Structure 1
């Protein structure tokens, strides 16, 4: 059994896959498995993945296009590692990411941890200041802003179990983290930048005004909060989201 399971959904990511693949193969920590699920790509993503000559890489091809959350779940079902971490097919890890995160998890006896990450353009050139892992994360403070990014977080599946992504939500990563943090008291910060996030101009996560309703449903439908309480946390999330990405605050 590998110590780390890396979970990656892939959909039409051929343009960025070579850099992502190389960032995993370059890891100084080598006891990992990489579970990639292709979500019915129409480009040559599958061909690129199949050319990886490494038995630690396991490719699953989804039967139908059902979104990144479902693709991650298909990989999670097969994951056997103690530590679970995520990397989208267009993002990038520095070579020491897994080594630093695993060491930190063991040293701190952490059930969940997250690190800084660089916020870059599509060419991996820094665009705004690095996102800082400078606060412990709890269920309560994660309600107001999602400080946990999939590409820079890791959790201990032996201690907390696997946490799957909900179906039907466009904010499935936030729901997943909230569900996880209802099981554990805290996620711990590692204040080192070891990952690069591509900020696409067309990214859904950047268009805050377009997903206010989806975020409201995180609280109303998935956390089962009252209407008033759901509006309160949606407003907090929107304000914090603006501050997170605005150059004024970075």
Structure 2
């Protein structure tokens, strides 16, 4: 198998005892074995730390925070300590398919890409497939990404050698969108793989299921991260709403 370099996998975790073992195992099971998994335990009050500690693999490390600080802080602490040639992301309740890293690294090498993402499928809280696929655009340019977040964070990967380390913005929610906007701004259009390479777990009470809070966090991306004035931020919010109504359903494919 061709060697592409070390991949640093970033995994924030807070009270994730129910799902995190599966997430970790999906990294261990990768056909591409040159990776390090950096898990940041964000002051969990359940058995998350115990579950993590049960894995005996030198490639897995854990950073434990004494106070809960949020996903953005956790991700950035892991990015700071990462030593890989590439940085990839996996939340503690999501899963990768076995060939995920291998196929993405080969794709990036063949296309001289600085970053890429892929399609992914939805599962419920019990891990049952919902027969829905979120399809990746083949090319995702900044102006398109500005309209809505079309990168499934569990599939995104970028080259540290080409872009340097890129941190997530200081936002409790939607910081992954801010990260990929910066990646595309710095490295040019992201390339997408149509094949589904991961499973996203749909959970009750997630931010995506709460429409009004989601709009507030999206406004923060435009106003606080991209530094748009309020009028321009509101303008892009209208574009976002239009994009969600017209484009997002087309991106979701029913596999039944």
Alignment TM-score, normalising by the size of structure 1: 0.93
* Residue 142 to residue 245, structure 1, CA distance change in 2 (3 Å): closer
What do residues 130-159 of structure 1 show as CA deviations (whole Å, max 9, x unaligned)?
011133112111110111121011100111
**Equivalent-residue separation in structure 2 for 1:219 and 1:80 (angstroms):** 31
What is the CA distance between 1:213 and its match in structure 2? 1.9
- Give yes or no for contact 1:208–1:238 (8 Å, CA) kept in 2: no
Match of 2:56 in 1: 53
What is the CA distance between 1:184 and its match in structure 2? 1.5
| Bigger mean CA offset, 27-36 vs 168-177 | 168-177
* Residue 171 to residue 134, structure 1, CA distance change in 2 (3 Å): closer
* Pairing 1:135–2:100 present: no
Matches within 5 A, 1:191-230: 191-230=194-233
Alignment TM-score, normalising by the size of structure 2: 0.91
What is the CA distance between 1:197 and its match in structure 2? 0.1
Matches within 5 A, 1:152-231: 152-231=155-234
RMSD in angstroms over aligned alpha carbons? 2.0
What is the DSSP-based 3-state SS (H/G/I as helix, E as strand, rest coil) of the residue aligned with 1:152?
coil
What is the CA distance between 1:15 and its match in structure 2? 0.4
Match of 2:124 among 121, 124, 131: 121
What is the DSSP-based 3-state SS (H/G/I as helix, E as strand, rest coil) of the residue aligned with 2:232?
helix
| Bigger mean CA offset, 13-22 vs 110-119 | 13-22
Structure 2 residue runs without a partner (length 5+): none
Structure 1 residue runs without a partner (length 5+): none
What do residues 2-24 of structure 1 show as CA deviations (whole Å, max 9, x unaligned)?
61110000000100112112111
Match of 1:37 among 37, 40, 45: 40
**Equivalent-residue separation in structure 2 for 1:5 and 1:34 (angstroms):** 6
**Equivalent-residue separation in structure 2 for 1:148 and 1:244 (angstroms):** 14
**Equivalent-residue separation in structure 2 for 1:232 and 1:238 (angstroms):** 10
What is the CA distance between 1:102 and its match in structure 2? 0.9
- Give yes or no for contact 1:144–1:233 (8 Å, CA) kept in 2: yes
| Bigger mean CA offset, 221-230 vs 71-80 | 221-230
| Bigger mean CA offset, 171-180 vs 39-48 | 171-180
Paired residues, number: 250
